[in-house]
Amino acid sequence: MDPRPIGVFDSGVGGLTVCKAMKDIMPGEHIIYFGDTGRFPYGTRSIETIIRYSREITEYLKSRDVKMIVIACNTSSAAALDVLRRENDIPVLGVIDAGARAACKKAEMAPHGDLIGVIATRATVKSESYVKAVHSISPRIKVLQRHATIFVSLTEEGWIDEEVTRLAAKKYIQDIFDEGVRVLVLGCTHFPLLKKAIKDVYPDIELVDSGIEVAWEAQRILAEKSLENSGGDGGIELYTSDITDSMERLKELFFGNNGTKISKLIIDSRI
């Protein structure tokens, strides 16, 4: 039993999908969430910058005495997970390993079991993190990646079930579908909200939600290390580095409307 909170962070509000999954699986845990909306998006930035941002957020979360850090952002997980693990003595989890593990399991059962598709931001694709994670589990599986940058903007705009979204899905996915991909990793926090639109176009593709997978992994690790807080208050504190007009709409889109408030917090060490 450990009443300390769990720290979760993302480049923006997309990581609230991970908080939602964690709350469903571990209702007693207290979560402190930081979304770096003031510096969003991360997916078009350099690895050095993403590592710097991720370090700053980690320092803040550690100052709040968290017992575990979950990097809900695929782009940060790709760039900074290894660094943050080396530099910190609490468990640091990223979405990529969890997503890759689930994808490998599904691929073993799929008709084209030697193939996994990944859609993600440019930075995540460039890092090849999903490719490396899949190959560390099953070297024979081929990974076909596509960056799907427009999906991020479509989601932010709330266009999650529109014709334009289905057209974008075709543009990004058709060629890897033709090559045989039937298991597709949603390698960006925003993409789980597009599940329906993708499934409308590709009903035969199995989608892997890395956010849900990391929530299960967090629960497993807390249990293994006797760090759970099953009887805790289940509270959530939401902080972002900027509060914009669309924030409430996005919060509801990602997290539902449960009255949780967002507070502004700037943690840029250079200010």
In a 10 Å sphere around its CB, with 0-12 CB exposed, 13-18 middle and 19+ buried, how is residue 41 labelled?
Answer: buried
Q: State the nearest-atom distance from the C-beta of 271 to ligand DGL, in Å.
A: 20
Helix (H) or strand (E) holding 238: strand 236-240
Taking residues 68 to 87 in sequence order and writing x for each that binds ligand DGL by CB under 6 A, - otherwise, the string is: -----xxx------------
* Whole-number Å distance between alpha carbons of 181 and 246: 35
Instruction: Give 6 or 13: the residue with its C-beta nearer to ligand DGL.
Output: 13
Instruction: Give 13 or 90: the residue with its C-beta nearer to ligand DGL.
Output: 13
Instruction: Choose, by CB under 6 A, the member of 6, 7, 8, 10 that binds ligand DGL.
Output: 10
Q: Active-site residue numbers?
A: 73, 188
Helix (H) or strand (E) holding 35: strand 31-35
* Whole-number Å distance between alpha carbons of 206 and 195: 10
Instruction: Choose, by CB under 6 A, the member of 42, 172, 239, 254 that binds ligand DGL.
Output: 42
Q: Calculate Rg over the CA atoms of the chain.
A: 18
Q: State the nearest-atom distance from the C-beta of 136 to ligand DGL, in Å.
A: 21
Instruction: Give 23 or 190: the residue with its C-beta nearer to ligand DGL.
Output: 190
Contact (CB, 8 A) for 34 and 236: no
134 Cβ contact list (under 8 Å, min separation 6): 100, 103, 104, 116, 141, 143
Residues 209-238 that bind ligand DGL (CB under 6 A): none
Q: State the nearest-atom distance from the C-beta of 11 to ligand DGL, in Å.
A: 3
**Binding site residues, ligand DGL, CB under 6 A:** 10-12, 14, 40-43, 73-75, 121, 124, 152, 188-190
